[in-house]
Amino acid sequence: MTGTTEITIRRPDDWHLHLRDGAMLEAVVPFTARQFARAIIMPNLSPPVTTSDLARAYRDRILAALPDGSDFTPLMTCYLTDDTDADDLVQGHADGVFTAVKLYPAGATTNSASGVTDMGRVLGVLERMEDAGIPLLVHGETTDPSVDVFYREAVYIDRTLAPLLQRFPGLKVVFEHITTADAVDFVMGGGENLAATVTAHHLMMNRNAMFVGGLRPHMYCLPVAKRENHRLALSAAATSGNAKFFLGTDSAPHTLAAKESDCGCAGIFSAPSALEHYVQVFDEEGALEHFEAFASLNGPAFYGLEPNAEMITLSKTGSEVPGDVAIKNAEGPEGAIKPFLAGETLAWSLKD
Ligand code: DOR
Ligand code: ZN
């Protein structure tokens, strides 16, 4: 496909997304609804989305925040805690409220304080999920503060994820936003019940990006970007056509004030130009023929859903990533969110 200047594929979905709530939700959801038909919505609000009632109410708020004429379906997740009510979870899944369950090791990242403190406490819930076929979406980083931040994903595999899959061999698991060659190898070596999402920013940058000419808070996310050899492994896996890897942006908006701070939040807001970022990676790898599988087919197949019927077209005509996105009725650094690569020119654009 060298020299391709246009590509038409089934409409993609985003299998990992943070939309937040209130005015922030209103500011960011139009970008995702323009690009994607469905998205897995992360439950790390404060307080987190821990019950089917809370998920129903959050879904209603997302639908209410959509621009008129949008065709977008939020797929809700349950935030797993030490005290999750397995009956509510399984019933919520049967009722179509919950698509999946999100596991945050307590303290691993933004709003994860209510997460799981000890896997021993959720074994009963995981058994019910395995029986009911409910996917577990894993933030795979150890919270052991003595482990180097760049090794937390690799250590999590050995200490937690591998034993978990051994104990629950039928549990559907998505290893979210993988950042290492170790994670790629682990996912490839697993069964059909194990898959992974890959973000655009982890495909496009390595850890140097956080330090170019100074400290770059808008390049900081968790899991933190790793060395170039890891980025290359992610890129090879994502663009290979292997059905175990699919698109999940982990677009995670924070205000400028929260990012540009003495203790800045982790999270990269990539939603505005997500597809343009991804298609550029596939183009550079000479793998455009695998883009539709990664963006539009592998995710639905793993989740047991139909791919979207509509088509979209991306063309190699260039586009500009928007500048700071304003939050209604909020001013100063509290009133705006900076997109990933804001203001930069990209090779591709999504046609309306
Ligand atoms: O960078 C991140 N931001 N990683 C996460 O795991 C959470 C997310 C957020 O909610 O901001
Ligand atoms: Zn996330």
For residue 194, give the 3-state DSSP assignment: strand
Rounded (10°) CA dihedral 28, 30, 34, 39: 60
In whole angstroms, give the CA distance from residue 259 to residue 337.
9
- DSSP letter (8 states) at residue 39: E
In this predicted structure, the answer to whether residue 323 has a pLDDT above a threshold of 90 is yes
- Beta strands 136-138 and 98-103: pairing type? parallel
What pLDDT, on a 0 to 100 scale, did the predictor assign at position 284?
Answer: 97
Residue 99 CA to ligand 1 centre (angstroms): 20
Mean pLDDT, range 327-347, rounded to an integer: 97
Q: Which residues form the catalytic set? A: 250
Tokens matching residue 87: 């009956």
Mean pLDDT, range 170-198, rounded to an integer: 98
In this predicted structure, the answer to whether residue 4 has a pLDDT above a threshold of 80 is yes
pLDDT grade, residue 274 (50/70/90)? very high
In this predicted structure, the answer to whether residue 183 has a pLDDT above a threshold of 90 is yes
The full set of domain ranges for the chain reads: 6-350
- DSSP letter (8 states) at residue 196: E
What's the Cα-to-Cα distance from 157 to each of 60, 141, 182, 183, 213, rounded to whole Å?
36, 8, 8, 7, 33
Q: Tens of pLDDT along 17-46?
A: 999 999 999 999 999 999 999 999 999 999
Report yes or no on whether pTM surpasses 0.85: yes
Does the domain at 6-350 match CATH 2.40.50.90? Answer given as: no
In this predicted structure, the answer to whether residue 1 has a pLDDT above a threshold of 60 is no
Q: What residue type is assigned to position 217 of the chain? A: P
What pLDDT, on a 0 to 100 scale, did the predictor assign at position 3?
Answer: 82
What pLDDT, on a 0 to 100 scale, did the predictor assign at position 352?
Answer: 83
The closest residue, in CA terms, to atom 4 on ligand 1 is 222
Return the axis-axis angle of helices 86-94 and 52-65, rounded to nearest 10°.
Answer: 40
Residue 57: exposure state from Cβ atoms within 10 A (0-12, 13-18, ≥19): exposed
- Beta strands 345-346 and 319-320: pairing type? antiparallel
Nearest to 205 by CA among 184, 177, 240, 230: 230
The alpha-helical segments, DSSP class H, found in the chain are 22-35, 52-65, 86-94, 123-132, 152-156, 162-167, 181-189, 200-204, 228-238, 256-259, 274-284, 291-292, 298-303
What pLDDT, on a 0 to 100 scale, did the predictor assign at position 2?
Answer: 56
139 close to 103: Cβ distance less than 8 angstroms: yes
Q: Tens of pLDDT along 60-118?
A: 999 999 999 999 999 999 999 999 999 999 999 999 999 999 999 999 888 899 999 99
Instruction: Mark the residues whose beta carbon lies below 5 A from ion ligand 2.
Output: 250
What pLDDT, on a 0 to 100 scale, did the predictor assign at position 92?
Answer: 98
Ligand 1 atom nearest to 176, measured from its CA:
6
The closest residue, in CA terms, to atom 2 on ligand 1 is 267
How many other CB atoms are there within 10 angstroms of residue 197's CB atom? 25
pLDDT grade, residue 242 (50/70/90)? very high
Mean pLDDT, range 306-325, rounded to an integer: 98
In whole angstroms, give the CA distance from residue 162 to residue 159.
7
Tokens matching residue 182: 């170790």
> In sequence order, which residues have a C-beta less than 8 Å from that of residue 21 and are 6 or more positions away?
45, 58, 61
Residue 307 CA to ligand 1 centre (angstroms): 27
**Cβ < 6 A, ligand 1 pocket:** 18, 44, 109-110, 139, 221-222, 252, 265-267
In this predicted structure, the answer to whether residue 349 has a pLDDT above a threshold of 60 is yes
> In sequence order, which residues have a C-beta less than 8 Å from that of residue 189 and are 6 or more positions away?
none
Residue 7 CA to ligand 2 centre (angstroms): 28
What pLDDT, on a 0 to 100 scale, did the predictor assign at position 108?
Answer: 87
